[in-house]
Amino acid sequence: MALPQQVIDRLSHDESQTPGWSSGLLFFSAGAFFLMILIYFGIVAGYEPYLNSQITGLETKINSASTTVPAADQTALIDFYSQLSHLQVLLKNHVVFTPFLSWLESNTEANAYYSQIVFSSTGQATITVVAKTQDDLNQQISIFESSPEVSRITVTGIAPMKVNNGSWQAANVTLFMNASILSDNNNA
């Protein structure tokens, strides 16, 4: 069965419209752009003056507070705050000797003692070790070298000494300590 002539004429003259996504995307983009413009002008017209009034109000409060506190008190407060912040930095990086002294006590040979200990800010401890014999001195140095808390060791000035009834050996030992033994981790 053939189509009637009217239907054929209408189909040949009507443009066929195929559904497409381009017109929908165009309308969505235009709507989003219009919404963005509205939000921008809303912020410029409404929120910006609100923020400027808040800033002005806070500046007025700061100026009134600064006039009520005398300049000498302001300077004293700033100095005190500066001292507190410097003290905080010093205490945070403060070298604590108690863990080091405990470590030194547990890592000392029976026939050795220390006549001088000097600490430096770089994590060094220079110790004058006095021992009964050369073997005792060597044993003490070996104990220092085998300790995991010591990163490096330098031995200088090994010399025999004559003390009352016996011969003693002395050496200057510089211990380069790991930071964990010299700093207070609980102070952070």
Domain boundaries, the chain: 97-182
pLDDT for 188 equals 39
CATH of domain 97-182: 3.30.1360.100
Q: Are 117 and 127 in contact (CB under 8 A)?
A: yes
pLDDT for 18 equals 59
Question: Measured in Å, how far apart are the chain's first and last C-alpha atoms?
Answer: 95
Interval 22-47 mean pLDDT? 91
The pLDDT mean for the chain works out to: 83
Residue 65 confidence (pLDDT) above 70: yes
Closest to 131 in 3D by CA, of 149, 148, 113: 113
Beta bridge partners of 118: 126
Distance of CA 104 to the CA centre of its chain: 30
pLDDT for 156 equals 86
Give residue-wise pLDDT tens across range 122-144: 778 899 898 888 888 889 999 99
Higher pLDDT, 98 or 85: 85
CA angle 121–125–130, rounded 5-degree value:
155
pLDDT for 17 equals 60
Beta bridge partners of 171: 129
Closest to 125 in 3D by CA, of 100, 96, 143, 108: 100
pTM for the whole thing? 0.47
Give residue-wise pLDDT tens across range 145-183: 999 989 999 988 888 776 665 667 788 899 988 877 765
